[in-house]
Chains A and B, each alone.
Chain A
Amino acid sequence: MGEPSFEDRKREQRLVTSRAVVSGVLVILVLSVVVLRLRYLQMDRHEHFSVLSKDNRVKIQPVPPTRGLIYDANGVVLADNRPTFSLEITVEKVEDLKATIDELARIIPIDDKDRARFERLKRQRMRFQGVPIRLNLTPSEVARFSVDGYRFPGVDVRAELIRIYPLSEATAHVLGYVGRINERDLTQIDTGNYAGTHFIGKGGLEKAHEDVLHGRVGYQQVEVNARGRVLRTLEGSPPTPGQDLLLYLDMALQQSAIDALGDRRGAVVAIDPRTGGVLAMVSKPSFNPNLFVEGISQADYEALLHSLDKPLFDRAARGQYPPGSTVKPFIGLGGLNANFITPKKITFCPGHFSLPGQSHRFRCWKRTGHGSTNLEKAIVESCDVYFYDLASRMGIDRLYGFLSQFSFGERTGIDLSGELPGLLPSREWKQRVRKQAWYPGETLIVGIGQGSFLATPLQLAAATATMANRGHFIQPRLARASRFPGADTESQFPLVSRQMETIDSHHWDEVIKDMAQVVESPRGTAKRIRSPDYRIAGKTGTSQVFTIGQKETYDESKVSDRMRDHALFVAFAPVEDPRIAVAVLVENGGHGGSDAAPVARRVIDAYLGGTPLAGPVEASDGD
């Protein structure tokens, strides 16, 4: 680039200056057009607009839709709307908040709790959206305020529908709850459609089906006086109400699952294998969701949040636990399918297993060993060594490929917000997350469902349902259909399903027979729950909470309560024509056979109508 001459510079400067002048002229021209437009609006049509402005008494107000209700399979109302009156302050319109509230308190009782809630909600409000200072006004309080209301600009009584969950704790984790719309929600929603709506689903079904439950906003034209108060309603388009949700959930079954768990922490998920419909979904302990609807107090919230029992935690869909021996039938099926074993093949269990050339001993839960073990015995007595051997021969890649078809390691896709995917370990996962190569020893641990392998009770139930369906995976669903309030027709939610790789029906027969033997054989780990009325296929499991050293033994009495193993049980029944698949988790419960299996039996009894299981069960010897 040559040094530009003085002449060139002069010319460039003239060029830019001329452009500046042209721009200036253009700016003035465009502004003149604006001024002409303003002259037209403000002088030529001033009379017209003046009249319009004076007559401008018609305001357009949004009319929020009524939120849909939620019903169980038998029409029991799980989420209802209750009409209430509340006293609201539009903060932006009030000059001295404190004085206003003090003055209000002379007409209508307002206590410290009300004030605290007001302060809390005020911080999260949308602009120009009223904040409630008192809820649940009585009719006489409403009357008192309407007499004195003119003295309080910016304070209004509002009639609104408040969500109520009549069954409270029994449905808390499934339904979730609604809460006031806050700034963060605002970024996620179509604000036009939520003009006038104050509540939005914050979790569970309420959040997952928000679009169905909410409906579409309507508008009305209202005539207002010079102070902005509404005189009468002229016309408008009514809102489209939210649709009711009809669930697969059966409250009677839900309640029996809750009762069966008793005071223990844990989860129960029951699925109808034919539809994928969730019949019961329990996480204990639970909480009262009604506290959250109008804004829970700080103290109550802290108490729930910091409780050692974690009542807010949804163990059914968000609790991730090592699935333990409950995965053995699935792995056995994979072994049969890929010809690594036959039903007759024998593995000798001396009580421990070592990889060739390594001294590390992987132990069987039965220290003395199971001796000669075929697949049936390995499932019925839950032999670890058999599955160490099978897993090590199949290899992690094949295990991963097979188990993931049962939805292990990925979300089942249930219509519930916040479901977690568990973890099915793989070479790729270990490299990505731990930046390490896969060790053969880890394959063995996966083979008995421990270590990094994690699954939610929901996943276990879905996998068991897939087993009952012989390879047909149906996405679990809570909501069966939606229906406009009062309408006769309902619209069914579509079933989402997929077929696993083709597996010889003999293999299914073998594994399902072995699972039935877990309950029916005198040596079965769940023999105590055998029912006279129908046949159950099941598998017990123990989910290790902490690891024992090479030389130590797991001694229940020495381990503190919260470090004790979790008890697991998966089952479906009847074996011939499965109608229910269940997964039970009892946190720190100890043994699958003695602690989790009876819970499953009671749930299946409640559903199929069997003779109740009698008496307490003695401790089991197995895993």
Chain B
Amino acid sequence: MATKPISTGAIPSGFDLDLEAAPPSILRRLHLDPPLLLGLLALCGFGLLVLYSAGDRNPLIVERQLLRLSLAFGFMCGVAQLSPVTLRNWSMPLYFLGVLMLIAVMLFGDIGKGAQRWLDFGFLRFQPSEILKLGVPMAVAWLLSMRPLPPRLSWTFLAVILILIPVLMIAEQPDLGTSLLVTSAGILVLFMAGLRWRIILALAVLIAAIAPLVWFFAMHDYQRARVLTFLNPESDPLGTGYHIIQSQIAIGSGGISGKGWLNGTQSHLEFLPERHTDFIFAVIGEEFGLTGILALLVLYLFIILRGLVIAARAADNYGRILAGGLTLVFFVYLFVNVGMVTGLLPVVGVPLPLISYGGTSMVTLMAGFGMLMSIETHKK
């Protein structure tokens, strides 16, 4: 390996580009990480291409998505300028801001579609749980980096409380998808901090024990229906099952090479519901085939591995475990969506990260990548 002694881990060198040897580039001075930036740009570019097809060649949809992407990239660049020390100092304030806003939603929120998730500021509606997708991992990283790693049991317990407070409030709204994502964000930071395997095992057993209780006492009827439909899609061909059946037909009929860009019959004859939002992965499968999907997955893998490299090379514990946690949450997004569309997981309303049409989660994701870049580029 041709890098500084700092990278002691056995990281595949392909992702560990040698940047320090060269004089600091412009990107470097802008606090942007070239490999990560390249990966993200490629991914979003591909996403726009697919969206043009999935949105029935409506330039308006592509235009709006481009606008959102620009905003999100701008946000990423902005966050990247902050030093990890600043991020660390802002961890708890951001966390509390998020929790306060959740309380505000409980008191004054809009009730939309049976779920109370939005704060209405008149000119814009805002989902406070988005803040906590960053606030929770940051707070947990802040807490755990105060003591030597791995965390002791009492500190683990504190971290779990930090995670549970907002998660229970979000689950109450009720928003199962987001509360799962926020929980995993916190737990993944704990994992990166070296949570002992036996505790992980104990947690797994605990979750297995609680699951039936959640099923019977905490879940809403529609949430139970989704899980049942997942187990047997044909049982509900008009509702959620229809989504699963149609998306599998779309992907399966794509074959190895796909039907070609703009030629997906499933997508364009409107058999595939939500094809430009949550189910856009099926459009990729149909039009670009297994080849296209593999290329896409390699792109995602590249971004994730680069994130893990940044985590391993970070200057302090806070940076390390935050970078690792955020990267792994990105992966969880990807897996939950792809798993849903391919029929591996139940239907949970999680978009395909950075590709699905829609804005709220995109800004949060890119802010997360901004933190990764900050952690990578502010080292002395």
Contact = CB atoms under 8 A, between A and B. Distances in A.
B312 to A, nearest CB: 4
A219 B241 CA distance: 15
Contact of A53 (B265, B289, B290, B305): B265
Contacts of A74: none
Interface of B: 8-11, 56-58, 110-114, 146-150, 191-194, 237-239, 242, 248-256, 265-266, 269-271, 285, 289-290, 293-294, 297, 300-301, 304-305, 308-309, 311-312, 317, 320-321, 324, 327-328, 331, 335, 338-339, 342-344
B289 A12 contact: no
B312 A16 contact: yes
Nearest to A192: B239
A191 B304 CA distance: 37
Please provide the 8 A-B residue pairs with the shortest distance between their CB atoms, ordered closest to farther.
A49-B252, A17-B9, A53-B253, A187-B112, A15-B194, A17-B312, A41-B252, A20-B308
A60 interface: yes
Nearest to B268: A228
B9 A228 contact: no
Nearest to A17: B9
Nearest to B112: A187
A48 B8 CA distance: 50
A284 to B, nearest CB: 35
A38 B338 CA distance: 10
B11 A21 contact: yes
A24 B254 contact: no
Given A13-B320, A16-B192, A34-B338, 17 more contacts: A4-B148, A8-B148, A18-B9, A19-B324, A21-B10, A21-B312, A23-B324, A31-B301, A35-B294, A35-B297, A37-B343, A52-B249, A53-B253, A56-B265, A92-B56, A92-B58, A93-B56
B238 A60 contact: yes
Given A34-B335, A35-B297, A12 B252 contact: no
Given A16-B149, A16-B311, A42-B290, A50 B252 contact: yes
A31 B248 CA distance: 18
A39 interface: yes
A34 B342 contact: yes
A224 interface: yes
Given A28-B301, A192-B239, A19 B58 contact: no
Given A38-B290, A56-B266, A92-B58, A19 B344 contact: no
Interface string A187-199: 1101110000000
A45 interface: yes
Contacts of B242: 60
A52 B252 CA distance: 9
B239 A45 contact: no
A305 interface: no
A53 B193 CA distance: 48
A57 to B, nearest CB: 8
Contacts of A56: 249, 265-266, 269, 271
B8 A17 contact: yes
Contact of A228 (B114, B256, B270, B342): B270
A14 interface: yes
A42 B251 contact: yes
A329 B81 CA distance: 75
A42 B254 contact: yes
B248 A219 contact: no
Contacts of B252: 41-42, 45-46, 48-50, 52-53
Contacts of B194: 12, 15-16, 19
Contacts of B237: 60
A43 interface: yes
Contacts of A191: 113
B112 to A, nearest CB: 4
B271 A187 contact: no
Contact of B110 (A16, A52, A187): A187
Contacts of B148: 4, 8, 12
B149 to A, nearest CB: 5
A108 to B, nearest CB: 25
A30 interface: yes
Contacts of B193: 16, 19
B94 to A, nearest CB: 23
B308 A41 contact: no
B263 to A, nearest CB: 12
Contacts of A562: none
Contacts of B343: 37
Contacts of A4: 148
